[in-house]
Structures are given as structure tokens and as C-alpha cells.
Amino acid sequence: MLKFGIFPKNLDFTKGVKKYIPLKVALSIAGIYSFLGVCWIVFSDRLLAMWAREKEVYVFLSSIKGVVYVTLSALVIFFMVYFALRALNEVNEIVKKNYLELEQTNKRLAESEDFSKAIINKMINAYALHRIILDENGNPCDYEFIDVNPSFEQFTGISKEEIIGKRYKEEVESRAEENTDWVGIYGKVALTGEPVSFESYTSAFDKWVTVNAYSPKKYYFITVFSDITELKKSEAEIREKHEELTALYEELTASEEELRQQFEELIYQQNLLKISEERFRLSAEGSNDMIWDIDLENGEQYFSDRWYELLGHDISGTENLFGKWLSLIHPEEYQYVMNLFEQHLQGKSDYLKCECRMLCKNGSYKWFLIRGKALFDEKGKVVRIAGSFTDINDRKEHENQLKENAYHDSLTGLPNRLALYEEFEKQISAYPQKPVAMFFIDSDNFKLINDTMGHSIGDLLIKKMGEKLASLLEDRHGSVYRLGGDEFVLIAEYDDIDEVCRYAQEIRSSFNLPLDIDDNTLCITVSISIAVYPTNGNNIEELIRNADIALYKAKESGKNCYVLFSDDMHEKVKERMLIEKHLRNAIDNKELHVYYQPQLDVKSGAISGFEALLRWNNSELGFVSPLKFIGVAEETRLINPIGKWVLREACSFLRKMHETQNSNISIAVNISIFQLLQEDFVDFAYCNRPCSPVSGAGDYRINSDGFV
């Protein structure tokens, strides 16, 4: 709001303060002091010369005279300073009093201004303060908006932030061509100060208004206008009704019989209308839905009593929600609903049907199913639309819960694989060129913890891992997902590959710290694989497949590390898969062979034992090195049946050696740690059952090299 000064023009801040001329006061003090000093010197010397004839007396009295002079000078200066300071204190008190009066005046003026602002903001009429803009010839060419009240915003549909500082031709006249010379009218008011009051139609807002304009200060003007559109419509309707009644009167006077027939027909139609209204009222009251009806020709709207019940409003209250029900639609569905309304009103759909949320009185939103159908006249113009609202809030909540369960992991609450697929595809569709890194995170010893400490501890560990990964995203833009078991995926945006490596190292380091879980301190490590979009894949399937390949490489490299996917990993994975495929049938196809390498006694030179060596000769792959297939066998747990077969073959060979030759010969067999973890390994090796394939063999020992 424009301020034109809050202080009175003739306000005297020094009222009551005695004014002094510094030079005059200083000269007065100096003159008085000089006069007294000269008089003292002249007369004291004369008196001293008369009284003191002797030199000693003269010197003594001269000293006394000097002391007296200094004392009198000090007294004179004391009184001069004293009276000057007292005068200064009086001035300060007067100024302080005037300042307090000024503060009170400012406070009253501020309260008056706030009161004026409150009145303007509470006005039902639209208010606006403008500044006229002149061209180079001094003629009005435009005007600027300085301030508006809430009624102005409601009237125009333009917010205060959008209009302040904008010009009329820029913000308003551009909307539609105006027939009224608003700039000329307001320019005259701003320059001459003569107020105006008139009625006019503004095509920019499609409304009739009464305008009152006056100028509080040159080049400024205030407009207060009221919406009289409905009044104008009412006047037009009254004129139209008057013309109709006049014509009807002429017709009635022309034919009394026709009047009687029309009257009887009117009574009949009224009875039918009454019956129809009663039927409609009973249907609306008995229905669980809310019935609505909008007359698009006159703007009348009807909503049944269920409207108030469904939205939590008091039907007996004074609130009138008619006319603003569209504003209660949730912002996220508003445009969607409006588009469906527009399509139906244009005849592009047979009926209206949509679901949306609407604002209740308590501030919450409730889901409704909106149904409706429009009525068109013979020219194809829509004249009425009616329908119903159905409360579907319970169904929507159930659907949302099902969706939540479908897209989130029940143990950790994190998004699951399905959510990862959908959200990632949406992200790369919206930002196809934006690089994204996928971190595949897998615990190195989860199965061991799960087997030894129980599934409850395992579940708590999984939750702890999810929480830790989520905490690492607090300062980054990304998401974490649980795919299942101890596998997690973390999606994050990045600028360069060095940042990806640093982040992977941060993830790995965070899991090197001990975890406190249910009074247990667990130490775990994680293996991390990384695939980046779009370098390592153009879709989620490719990225997950390549990240899984890189994870295998991380496990193979000793675990507790991270590996970036590279294209050459494909060939290694293909080779591994091929080895696994043929290895599964190697025993049945008799492709495995055990060779026995003799071990000699150094002293005697005789054979003291053998070491069993497993070799594999495949018809397609040829001879496969144990360095390649033993690791695959351990990962796939094929080492267990293969290990049993090797031990059975070795024991059979040893039995034959004992039967035909030296019974002191021993044989060494390589045993995998996974075989030792088998519950039946001891029973199998030590042949406690008569049907054991190694019955009759000698003693068995396991040394530090993993030999039996």
C-alpha cells in the first residue's frame, strides 16, 4: 500500500528547547573571564604595592595573590561549566520528551494504517492502487498496479504476486479487446484529481462492474469496483420476463378460452412436476450416493443432503458449497477431472466417469467415483449435466494397501524388485541421457550367519543392512531396493566414474564396522558390483544381468570388494555357465577320472602312498583344468556329489591295494570345506554302516592341507 508520509509537515522536534548561539555564548564567557582577570591583575597589583613595602612581604603576598587568582578562576570555570551542563541536561530532557511524543504519534499512525489495511483487505469490493504512466508528451499511455486486496484477486483470478508491478496493457488488456478506454478515464483522474463513478463491461474478465475511482495523490489513483454481472443478468431476465408476460397478456386477452386451456394444462404440468419432484426427493434421500444437478444455462446447482454427510459438513450450517465444489478436488486430479468434463460436454464421450479425491471439512481427502451425463438441446448445445458421487474411500485404501504390499518388501519396508523395474524405467524414460549407477550389494557370509544363529537373527541382519544402505542415501539423490535374500540394489545418479568408485568404497567401508543385533555383535562384509546406465545397458534387465555378472567376479576375487562391470566379463560368464552345464552330467557320462600320483619314502625309495587327482575330459570342452571346474563345483555345490564319488573311487582303489599288496599304503584325497559342512560326511567317510562303499578301509585323518 502506497504511503504518503506519516509525520505532520510542521512537526517541531525542538519544541520547548532554548536555543543558544555557540559563538555568542563562547564570546560572553571569554569576555567575562577576561574582564575579571584584567581587573584582578590591575587592582591587586596596586593594592599590593600600597600595602607591601618590604621585599619579603611583597613576595609572600604575591604568592597569596596567585593562589587567590587560581582559586577564583576555578570557581568561575566551575560555575560556567555547571550552568552549561545543567542547560544541556534540560535540553536532553526536552528532546527525550519530544521523542516519546513522536513515538506515540508514530504508533497511533501505524495503528491507523494497519486499521486501514485491514478494512481494505476485508472489503467485499475489489480494490486496487495504481500509478499512471505518461508518454513523452505527458499523455496517459498505461498504468501500473501498486497494490490490490483479496477481493481483487478473487474477482480477476490473478494473484497479488502476479499483478503487482505489472502494467494494465501487459497483464489485462492482452487477455481480450476492451471497448472502454480505461487508461484515458483513469489518466484524467490521476492528473486532475477529479473522481469518477460509472458502470462498464470488461471483456477481459467477462463481467459487468461499477467503478469508483479517485486520486489520493497526483499520478496515483485508486479504483474500487463491484461485480454486478448477476445484477445485469437479473435485469435482462426481468426485461425478458416482462416482454414474455406482456405478450402472454396480449394473447390471454385475445382468447379467454385459450387462457383457460393453458391454465388447466399448467395445473396438470404442476401436478406432474410435483409428483416428479417428490419421486426425485425420495430417490435422493434413499440413495447412498450423493445426487448432483447443474443447469449450465442459468448456473443453478443442486446437491443432495448426502453431499454434506459425505464431506463432513453440517447441513444445518450456513456453509454453501454450491458453486465451488470443483475447487475441492485434489490438485493432482483436478486437471484430469476437468479434461473428462470438457470431453463429455463437447460430446466426445457418452457419459462422464472418473475417480478423484475431494477435500473434507476436517482437512482430509476422500475418494469418490463421479458419474454424470450431459443433456444437449436441438442445436447440440449442452444445457444440463447431472450425476452422482459414490464414496469409494474404503476400496481405494484397500487398493493402496495392496499396491504398497506389492511394491514393498515386508521385512525391511524397502521397495522391492517390482518397484525397481517400474521406477527405473520411468526414470530413464523421463531422463534418457542422465547417467545412473546401479550398485548390486550382497552379503559375503549371510548364509553362514543364518544357518548358525537362526533365521530370526538373519532377518534382523537383513533389516539392519537395509537401514544402513538407506542412511547412506540421506545426502544423495537415489533409492535402495531389496531384491530378496541378502541382495540389495542401490540406484544413484553420478557425474563421473570416480564418484561411483568412491561411493562403492564408502558402502563397503560402512559394512566393515561391527553390527549390534539382538545382543549379538556381528561382523559382515559385502561384495559390490556396479553397472552404469547407459554404458552397461539400456534397460533394467540388461543392467541387472550385467551387475550380477560383475558380482560373480567380486565373489571370485575374494569378496569384500567392488567390481565395475566390463564387456569382457560376458565371455567368462558364458564359459562358467558352459562348465556348470556339462559338469552336472559329468559323473553319469563317466567323464570324471581319478589319477593316483605315487608318493615315495625317501629312505627306502618304496611307494608309501598315493595322492588322488581328479581330472575331467568332456567330449565338447576337452580336458578342463581343475582350476576352472573345481571353483564352479564349489559354488554350485556340485562338489558334494563329486567329492563323494572321488572318495568312493579312492577307497575302492585303496581296498584293492590292501588286498593285493602292502596294507600300509595310504591315499590322500582333497576335501572341500563344503564337504566338511555336510551332516553325513563323517558317517560316509568312516563307514559306520555295513553298506558303506568304503567299508574295510583304514584310518582317516584330515590334515591342515585339506587332505583325508
Q: Give catalytic residue positions.
A: 486
Residue corresponding to grid cell 540388461: 542
Contacts of 600 (CB under 8 A, 6+ apart): 606, 607, 608
- One DSSP character per residue, 214-274 reads EEEETTEEEEEEEE-HHHHHHHHHHHHHHHHHHHHHHHHHH-HHHHHHHHHHHHHHHHHHH
Distance between CA atoms of residues 555 and 167, nearest Å: 69
Distance between CA atoms of residues 537 and 549, nearest Å: 13
Distance between CA atoms of residues 225 and 520, nearest Å: 76
**Cis upstream peptide for 534 (omega within 30°):** yes
Length of the chain: 708
Single-letter residue type at 330:
H
Q: What SS3 class is residue 509?
A: helix
Question: Are 482 and 499 spatial neighbours (Cβ–Cβ below 8 Å)?
Answer: no
Distance between CA atoms of residues 114 and 120, nearest Å: 10
Q: What SS3 class is residue 319?
A: coil
Distance between CA atoms of residues 285 and 303, nearest Å: 11
Grid cell, residue 246, equals 406482456
What is the rounded (10 degree) CA torsion for 500, 468, 482, 635?
Answer: 80
Q: Is 150 exposed, middle or buried (0-12, 13-18, 19+ CB in 10 A)?
A: middle
Single-letter residue type at 50:
M
Q: Where are the alpha helices (DSSP H) in 287-330?
A: 306-311
Question: Are 559 and 525 spatial neighbours (Cβ–Cβ below 8 Å)?
Answer: yes
Contacts of 314 (CB under 8 A, 6+ apart): 308
Grid cell, residue 322, equals 454450491
Distance between CA atoms of residues 687 and 708, nearest Å: 14
Distance between CA atoms of residues 659 and 329, nearest Å: 93
Q: What SS3 class is residue 604?
A: coil
Q: Is the dihedral of CA 282, 283, 284, 286 positive or negative?
A: positive
Contacts of 589 (CB under 8 A, 6+ apart): 619
Single-letter residue type at 236:
A
